[in-house]
């Protein structure tokens, strides 16, 4: 029989507070808790300070706060250095002595011997665990975690901050422990529907009636040009949850039309790659302001060599003329940032690489270089199809956008424009 319990994530590390590393552990654990059907209402990042950590623990397991947290999950602070204070701070809070566990000492000796490194007294700190706590094994690192019930109804799990170690420990031990304890009410399964070319507000207006649903739920969010709709269903099994969410997901796709490009881990590049591969067609790319960004996105997809033959970074006009055969008179008359130059760049790279499709980008990414008629953020995308037809599309990303964002938006927009051309050809075939 499953029981309702609220889990709380407490991520320890001053480097997290300073923004020196991304807190990917919290993202992973949040997704895993959802998959287990365990409610998760709070996350905290705290520095390597015992007093601060203890205040967080006191607040998290406060018996006077109904429904606060019954499962505390810690990441970070389990290593051998002086600022690794998580285990001893937790033990101190619950007034419990630390005990050196001989099995951990043996394992540490073996691990350090394998690496040809001496086992110092500071390394042995990792063998200290609160009395009565269970060891949470670490198959790939030196710092074990623990599973502990310091008081009835309160469960504490600790993990090292290294993501690969934490994930392995979670999957090998923690998941089965939480299931054996009967936590969770069924499972939560989410599907992220991904859209490009439509704003969050415009999409939300079209699908607003879905936001009132309770099972499955629908929630929108956006990031750097892309919009997503997260569809989440709760059921007894993953299979039942998928049956619940599929009709809603399909309705949302239909309403959005071709603004929808994929789900979950699919990207614009992977979707375009699948379209090209299914048609047995190839692509060459010519880039100016994006400096190889399209090529990077395409080659991030395993197997992309089957359809992506290569690219030319034509940053200087001489390369546009000599390598891509852009007409010098067009360059002089229209300028490098123009629709005609974008078309000729796409045509040139298609001819040079003997591919079915040519795709190009030329523009002004800033922060300087803009004029009144051609401001920063103006980008042209060029496409040449297998019949040699040329097309171009202007994009205006705004004069105040950061250079990196203009480049990223241009890469995604170019790949999406190609996606639309491929889908249009599918309709005509």
Q: Is 184 exposed, middle or buried (0-12, 13-18, 19+ CB in 10 A)?
A: buried
pLDDT(1) > 80: no
The angle, 0 to 180 degrees and rounded to 10, between the axes of the packed helices 50-60 and 86-93 is 50
Mean pLDDT across the stretch 91-103? 95
Quickly count: other Cβ atoms within 10 Å of residue 291's Cβ: 15
What tens digit of pLDDT does each residue of 284-299 get?
Answer: 999 999 999 999 999 9
**Do the beta carbons of residue 415 and residue 297 sit within 8 Å?**
yes
Mean pLDDT across the stretch 24-32? 94
Contacts of 13 (CB under 8 A, 6+ apart): 21, 45, 47, 48, 76, 77, 161
pLDDT of the residue at 2:
47
CA separation (Å) from 230 to 16, 323, 385, 403?
27, 45, 34, 29
Q: b/e map of 231-261 (b: 16 or more CB within 10 Å)? A: bbbbbeeeeebeebbeebbeebbeebeebbb
pLDDT of the residue at 61:
85
Query: Residues in the chain, how many?
Result: 429
Give Cα 406 to chain centroid, integer Å: 20
pLDDT of the residue at 115:
84
Average pLDDT, the chain: 93
Q: Which domains are assigned to the chain? A: 6-180 (3.40.980.10), 187-263 (3.30.70.2860), 268-428 (3.90.950.20)
Contacts of 280 (CB under 8 A, 6+ apart): none
What tens digit of pLDDT does each residue of 396-406 get?
Answer: 999 999 999 99
| Alpha helix (H) residue ranges in 212-316 | 238-256, 268-279, 293-299
Determine phi and psi for 246, rounding to 5 degrees. -60, -45
Contacts of 397 (CB under 8 A, 6+ apart): 377, 378, 379, 405, 406, 409, 410
Tell me if the bond preceding 216 is cis, omega within 30° of 0: yes
At 67, the pLDDT band (50, 70, 90 cuts) reads low
Mean pLDDT across the stretch 390-411? 97
pLDDT of the residue at 165:
96
Quickly count: other Cβ atoms within 10 Å of residue 374's Cβ: 15
Mean pLDDT across the stretch 267-283? 98
pLDDT(35) > 70: yes
pLDDT of the residue at 182:
87
Mean pLDDT across the stretch 56-73? 82
At 238, the pLDDT band (50, 70, 90 cuts) reads confident
pLDDT(375) > 60: yes
What tens digit of pLDDT does each residue of 106-122 get?
Answer: 999 988 888 888 888 88
What tens digit of pLDDT does each residue of 110-167 get?
Answer: 888 888 888 888 889 999 999 999 999 999 998 999 999 999 989 999 999 999 999 9
**Do the beta carbons of residue 245 and residue 237 sit within 8 Å?**
no
At 184, the pLDDT band (50, 70, 90 cuts) reads confident
Question: Alpha-carbon distance 244 to 185, whole Å?
Answer: 16
0.85 exceeded by pTM: no
At 429, the pLDDT band (50, 70, 90 cuts) reads low
SS3 for 84? coil
Q: Are strands 154-159 and 71-75 parallel, antiparallel or unpaired?
A: parallel
For the chain, helix, strand, coil in percent to 5 are 45, 25, 30
Question: Alpha-carbon distance 346 to 351, whole Å?
Answer: 9
């Amino acid at each position: 029989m499953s029981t309702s319990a609220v889990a709380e994530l407490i991520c320890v590390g001053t480097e997290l507070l300073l923004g020196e590393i991304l807190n990917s552990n919290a993202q992973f654990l949040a997704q895993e808790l959802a998959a287990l059907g365990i409610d998760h209402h709070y996350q905290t990042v705290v520095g390597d300070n015992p007093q601060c950590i203890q205040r967080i623990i006191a607040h998290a397991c406060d018996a006077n706060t109904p429904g606060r947290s019954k499962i505390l999950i810690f990441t970070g602070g389990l290593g051998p250095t002086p600022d690794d204070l998580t285990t001893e701070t937790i033990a101190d809070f619950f007034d419990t002595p630390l005990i050196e566990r001989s099995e951990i000492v043996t394992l540490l000796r073996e691990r350090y011997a394998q690496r040809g490194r001496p086992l110092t007294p500071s390394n042995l700190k990792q063998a200290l665990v609160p009395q009565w706590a269970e060891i949470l094994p670490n198959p790939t690192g030196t710092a074990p975690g623990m599973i502990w019930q310091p008081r009835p109804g309160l469960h504490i799990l600790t993990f090292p901050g290294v993501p690969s170690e934490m994930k392995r420990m979670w999957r090998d031990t923690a998941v089965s422990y939480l299931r054996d304890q009967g936590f969770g009410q069924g499972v939560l399964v989410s599907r992220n529907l991904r859209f490009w070319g439509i704003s969050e507000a415009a999409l939300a207006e079209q699908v607003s009636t879905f936001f009132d649903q309770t099972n499955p739920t629908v929630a929108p969010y956006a990031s750097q040009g892309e919009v997503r709709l997260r569809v989440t269903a709760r059921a007894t099994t993953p299979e039942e949850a998928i049956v619940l969410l599929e009709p809603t997901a399909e309705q949302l796709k239909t309403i959005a039309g071709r603004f929808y490009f994929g789900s979950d881990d699919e990207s614009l590049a992977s979707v375009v790659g699948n379209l090209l591969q299914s048609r047995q067609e190839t692509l060459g790319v010519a880039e100016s302001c994006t400096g190889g960004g399209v090529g990077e996105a395409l080659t991030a997809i395993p197997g992309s060599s089957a359809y992506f033959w290569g690219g030319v970074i034509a940053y200087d006009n001489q390369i546009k003329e000599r390598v891509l055969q852009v007409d010098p008179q067009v360059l002089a008359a229209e300028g490098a940032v123009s629709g005609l130059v974008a078309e000729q760049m796409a045509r040139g790279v298609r001819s040079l690489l003997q591919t079915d499709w040519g795709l190009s980008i030329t523009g002004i990414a800033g922060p300087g270089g803009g004029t009144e008629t051609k401001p920063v953020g103006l980008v042209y995308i060029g496409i040449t199809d297998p019949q040699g037809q040329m097309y171009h599309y202007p994009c205006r990303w705004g004069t105040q956008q950061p250079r990196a964002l203009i480049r990223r938006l241009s890469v995604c927009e170019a790949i999406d424009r190609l996606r639309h051309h491929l889908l249009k050809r599918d309709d005509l075939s």
